[in-house]
């Protein structure tokens, strides 16, 4: 987790190792983050509260030409007023192209909020000049990670007052940079409408990168639009065209949790009307089937994570930790019908 607050010792090894293994699964490459590994069979494992729910397609039903994704979400409860109670809901958007390396975008919900000047950068000592941490205020992070450490990712915010840019190394891991845009208002209780859409090939490569200049190459733009209080806020991203031309056909998006068991405090959000649009089409298609592909919960510990819900009279995914044994277990399907 980039910019983790102090307090609450949570192992990042398993969470980042799983994220790395996802990239390896998509690309056929080795895990990306050096020094990280998945726990071996028989090894004592602690439950931290990490679960991974994928959009799911049966073999032969994948969509190879999706270029837009949209959904609605709302954080209903954020009872995490102290830094050591932090939690995160990640929403990954997986992209692919003709090349071997996939890329990703993120639109994540954190239990705290960063306040900072536009174009801030976390220094080697871990500090950001002028940054404040506001625990208990939910924020939306619109981000692109440099998972391959090739410096071939970037972002430009079109709303620097609401979504200013922050560059930082994820958890202080050397050269594992992430360019983030964090909402400057508390989004608890507010309906967020998020759309991620493919754009044209970038013509101007200046001003995108955390490293000042992008390496030479052909870059595809993607735009994330967050509708908040009736106002659309836009952030543009660039990624290599050969790794980011479309959504991954069978695994376009994923909702994931961190620290939902290990840290106290209720964090509850709902996701609904999750849809994709294909290239050269104007209609939207619902992502109705979801599968819990990984969780560090023991079988009797399904007291947090994801489950089916009705919210605003719509079928929805609830992501929370209310302590009841009602949540999906590894391998379970959630059908939004």
Angle at 31 between CA 174 and CA 237, to 5 degrees: 65
Distance CA 335, CA 337 (A): 6
Indicate whether 76 pLDDT > 90. yes
Q: Mean pLDDT for the chain? A: 89
Pairing of strands 267-278, 285-286: antiparallel
99-107 mean pLDDT: 97
3-state secondary structure string across the chain: CCCCCCCCCCCCHHHHHHHHHHHHHHHCCCCCCCCCCCCCCCCCCCCCCCEEEEECCCCCCCCCCEEEEEEEEEEEEECCCCHHHCCEEEEEEEEECCCCCCEEEEEEEEEEEEECCCCEECCCCCCCCCCEEEEEEEEEEEEEECCCCCCCCEEEECCCCCCCEEEEEHHHCCCCEEEEEECCCCCCCCEEEEEEEEEEECCCCECCCCCCECCCCCEEEEEEEEEECCEEEEEEEEEEHHHCCEECCCCCEEEEEECCCCCCCCEEEEEEEEEEEECCCCCCEECCEEEEEEECCCHHHCCCEEEEEEECCEEEEEEECCCCCCCCCCCCEEECC
- What is the pLDDT, as a whole number, of residue 126? 84
Select the more confidently predicted residue: 37 or 93: 93
Indicate whether 246 pLDDT > 70. yes
- Is the CB of residue 107 less than 8 Å from the CB of residue 141? yes
pLDDT band at 46 (very low <50, low <70, confident <90, very high): confident
Identify the weakest region by mean pLDDT among 27-36, 98-107, 302-311.
27-36
pLDDT band at 96 (very low <50, low <70, confident <90, very high): very high
- What is the pLDDT, as a whole number, of residue 176? 94
- What is the pLDDT, as a whole number, of residue 16? 53
- What is the pLDDT, as a whole number, of residue 3? 45
Sole residue written with tokens 């970037």: 154
Sole residue written with tokens 């836009």: 234
- Is the CB of residue 327 less than 8 Å from the CB of residue 295? no
Residue range 157-205, pLDDT digits in tens: 999 999 999 999 998 899 999 999 999 999 999 999 999 999 999 999 9
Report the percent of the chain where pLDDT is more than 90: 81
Show the tokens assigned to 24: 């390896």
């Amino acid at each position: 987790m980039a910019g983790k607050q102090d307090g609450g010792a949570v192992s990042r090894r398993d969470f980042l190792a799983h994220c790395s293994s996802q990239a390896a699964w998509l690309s056929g490459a080795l895990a990306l983050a050096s020094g990280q590994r998945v726990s071996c069979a028989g090894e004592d494992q602690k439950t931290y509260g990490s679960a991974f729910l994928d959009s799911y397609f049966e073999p032969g039903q994948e969509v190879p030409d999706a270029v837009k994704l949209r959904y609605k979400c709302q954080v209903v409860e954020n009872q995490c007023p102290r830094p050591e109670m932090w939690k995160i809901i990640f929403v990954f958007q997986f992209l692919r192209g003709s090349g071997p390396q996939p890329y990703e975008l993120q639109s994540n919900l954190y239990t705290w909020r960063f306040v900072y000047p536009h174009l801030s950068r976390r220094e080697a000592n871990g500090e950001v000049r002028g940054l404040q941490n506001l625990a208990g205020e939910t924020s939306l992070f619109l981000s692109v990670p440099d998972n391959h450490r090739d410096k071939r990712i970037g972002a430009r915010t079109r709303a620097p007052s609401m979504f200013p840019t922050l560059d930082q190394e994820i958890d202080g891991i050397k050269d594992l940079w992430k360019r983030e845009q964090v909402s400057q208002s508390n989004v608890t209780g507010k309906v967020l409408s998020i759309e991620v859409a493919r754009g044209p090939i970038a013509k101007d490569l200046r001003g995108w990168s955390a490293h000042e200049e992008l390496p030479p190459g052909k870059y595809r733009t993607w735009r994330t639009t967050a509708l908040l209080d009736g106002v659309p806020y836009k952030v543009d991203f660039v990624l290599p065209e050969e790794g980011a031309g479309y959504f991954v056909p069978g695994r376009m998006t994923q909702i994931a949790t961190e620290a939902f068991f290990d840290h106290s405090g209720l964090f509850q959000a709902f996701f609904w009307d999750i849809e994709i649009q294909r290239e050269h089409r104007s209609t939207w298609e619902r992502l109705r089937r979801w599968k819990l592909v990984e969780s560090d919960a023991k079988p009797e510990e399904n007291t947090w994570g994801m489950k089916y819900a009705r919210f605003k009279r719509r079928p929805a995914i609830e992501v929370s930790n209310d302590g009841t044994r009602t949540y999906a277990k590894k391998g379970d399907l959630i059908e939004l019908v």
